[in-house]
Amino acid sequence: MLGVVIERVAYRPLRNAPRLAPLISAIGVSLILQDLGKLWKGVTFVSFPQIFPQITYNLGLVTISSVNILVLVVSLGLMVGLSWLVNRTRTGRAMRAVAQDREAAALMGVNVDRIIAITFFIGAALAGAAGFIYGLQYGSTIFYLGFQLGLFAFTADHGEEFLDHGGRFHPPSRATEEIIHVPLLVRVPGMSKVQLPANPFSHLHLAPTLLDAMNVESPAEFRGHSHWPQLQQGSAWDEPAIVESIASCTNPKRSEARLGPRVLTVRDARYKLVLYFNPPHDQLFDLKADPVEQKPLPQDAEKAVRGRLLEYARLHLQSSWQERNPKQQVSSRLRDLQLQWANQHTNSSR
């Protein structure tokens, strides 16, 4: 019932607000729940009552306890039940309809408020079950545990579970918005509220902008420049955001994986151009009409926009090549080789 109350108080009034508002509300509710737990049970770990007998089974080289079996059975049962509910029942069909298009679902007779309340009820019940089996497994809990585990789930999900991008994960070659478009909240004491522009903000300009806000001069080595004056006035800038990634890199800690062909993304307030270099081709997306980046525009569409973004990409590549520091490249490569040698020496000594 707590989940239904939270939905009614913290989420329903913000249903038609910008997408960032429910996120801030969710963080606020989680902090309130943390403080309530802290007042109730204190700030130290609390032992969880072991209401299930602990029996250990030895199956050859495998050792498993009765609690492990209970966790596995309960988890599988809940997953199967949730899958059946979502895919095989009328309520589940209504949930999927509301998730896909809330307005269209309402026109088809779906009670949107009721379905969302049911969804929160089910989510809270599953969270309670998860907390119960977690306590049985690890034997203790603390007031911030739910917030910590929620952060793991929140940061791990980028829409894969709902196949937002046609797959279960985001390969680096896609350079989708969920990977490269990260919100940043900065509070400046004494600054009045300003309506910020919708233009994207490149990470290159982040450090110079923050330093400028603190009245600190940026080092000459920084490639970016400050947008602090525009942010103070709420005015837009014409420069798009540029992001580089490695197309085939699955583990950036491996030096050989960092040397693959690049993917270059150029994004303005509405359009996004993705350049691939192996094989060479490009894709242009209209993020206003296609926010999930499933339908790249035809090659003959928006030629002026494509040409403008390509020119920014050319200038970026040209300046990047001219400003490369050979000494830093050699130093970085030597450090990679040193780490590889140290890892090989460690593995051989074991």
Cα(290)–Cα(182) distance, integer angstroms = 18
Helix orientation angle between 90-100 and 112-138, rounded to the nearest 10 degrees: 100
pLDDT at 38 over 60: yes
Mean residue pLDDT across the chain: 81
Domains of the chain: 2-156 (no CATH), 177-186+195-202+239-339 (3.30.1120.10)
Report helix, strand or coil for 242.
strand
pLDDT exceeds 70 at position 167: no
Residue type, 231: L
309 contacts 268 by C-beta, under 8 angstroms: yes
Indicate the range of 81-85, 185-189, 299-303 predicted with least confidence: 185-189
Asked whether 305 and 283 are in contact (CB, 8 A), the reply is no
Per 3-state DSSP, the chain is made up of helix, strand and coil in percentages (nearest 5) of: 55, 10, 35
pLDDT over 80 (residue 249): no
**Around Cβ 202, how many Cβ atoms within 10 Å?**
19
pLDDT band per the 50, 70, 90 thresholds, residue 286: very high
What's the pTM value of the predicted model, to 2 decimals?
A: 0.51
Question: Mean of the pLDDT values across residues 93-108?
Answer: 87
Of the candidates 242, 246, 255, the one whose C-alpha atom is nearest the C-alpha of residue 313 is 242
Phi, psi of 19 (to 5 degrees): -65, -25
Please, which pLDDT band fits residue 46 given cuts at 50, 70 and 90?
Answer: confident
Q: Which whole number is the average pLDDT over 231-248?
A: 82
Q: Say if CB 226 and CB 204 are below 8 A apart.
A: no
Asked if 283 and 298 touch (Cβ cutoff 8 Å), the reply is no
